[in-house]
Amino acid sequence: MNDDTLILYYYNDGLTKRERQQVESAIRSDSALAAHYEALCRELDDISEPDLQAVPSHTLQRWHDSIDRVAQQEQFRQRKPAGSFSLISFGWGAAITAALALGIGIGVYLPNDDPVTSVPAVQIANVDPGGETVVPAAFTRGVKVHLQDTQQDLANLSLDASADRIMLILQIIDQNRLFERAAEQNNSQSLARVLRAFEPILLRLAADDIAPEDAEALRAQLAFELKVMLTKLSRDTSNDRQST
């Protein structure tokens, strides 16, 4: 009887009832086989769950925040009476949709700096077998437009506790998620993570009961982070141009 059969017997899976009975009777009647099986069991038992490493606190916080965010979105949708129409919300929604369409449009369709070739639509592309990727320049420009729009929206944001303010921020979060997914599809995990990192701050800014001074501080923090990100993206784009 070979080890493969004994392994399946150990896992109690992958053998028919008849095959299991055959293994049992073989082990009972053959002391050498029984000893061999015991040794195998010991070895397999020793392959156990390693000690757990603690999750970094910022990661843990991100997961907690993500639950708060989806819960708040759900709550907001439930609270909003069906059929109600707010001209302000509609205006913001239309503006955001237009900005998103523009952002994606630029990301997808803007021609490359290369005058001969055109940039293909955003898609899973430029993946090499080693996992290193090149983010299409047009996609980076689309992200820049998105971040600039967000910067502008936040600068103009009224910090009172109106439903429109919350609605706008939740729309920014949704929009951010679209770009985050697009970044993942372009295999730019680092860019996706940066975009994701904006979410907890936006979520806190969307809280019902945030104090005006806290809201202002969060807005300033976001403005700073967005500026840093935009500078970095501009620098990367510039470096890419120089290197080509």
Q: Are 103 and 90 in contact (CB under 8 A)?
A: no
Q: Sign (positive/negative) of CA torsion 229, 176, 221, 190? A: negative
Binders of another protein among residues 5 to 34 (CB under 8 A) are: 7-8, 11, 13-14
The reply on whether position 238 binds another protein by CB under 8 A is no
The rounded distance, in Å, linking the Cα atoms of 244 and 242 is: 6
Which residue, 96, 207, 115, 210, is CA-closest to 156?
96
The rounded distance, in Å, linking the Cα atoms of 1 and 12 is: 16
Nearer to another protein, 7 or 35 (CB): 7
Nearer to another protein, 30 or 43 (CB): 43
Instruction: Give the nearest distance from C-beta 209 to another protein in angstroms.
Output: 7
Residues in binding contact with another protein, number by CB under 8 A? 41
- Contacting another protein (CB under 8 A), which of 16, 29, 31, 48? 48
Binders of another protein among residues 50 to 79 (CB under 8 A) are: 50-55, 59-60, 62-64, 66-68, 70-72, 74-75
The rounded distance, in Å, linking the Cα atoms of 222 and 154 is: 8
The reply on whether position 128 binds another protein by CB under 8 A is no
The rounded distance, in Å, linking the Cα atoms of 40 and 165 is: 64
Looking up tokens 């392994």, which residue turns up?
7
Q: For 58-83, give one letter per residue: b (16+ CB within 10 A) or e.
A: eeeebeebeeebeebbeeeeeeeeee
Nearer to another protein, 2 or 243 (CB): 2
Binders of another protein among residues 142 to 201 (CB under 8 A) are: 187, 189, 193, 196
Binders of another protein among residues 197 to 216 (CB under 8 A) are: 203, 207-209
The reply on whether position 123 binds another protein by CB under 8 A is no
Binding site for another protein (CB under 8 A): 3-4, 7-8, 11, 13-14, 43-44, 46-55, 59-60, 62-64, 66-68, 70-72, 74-75, 131, 187, 189, 193, 196, 203, 207-209
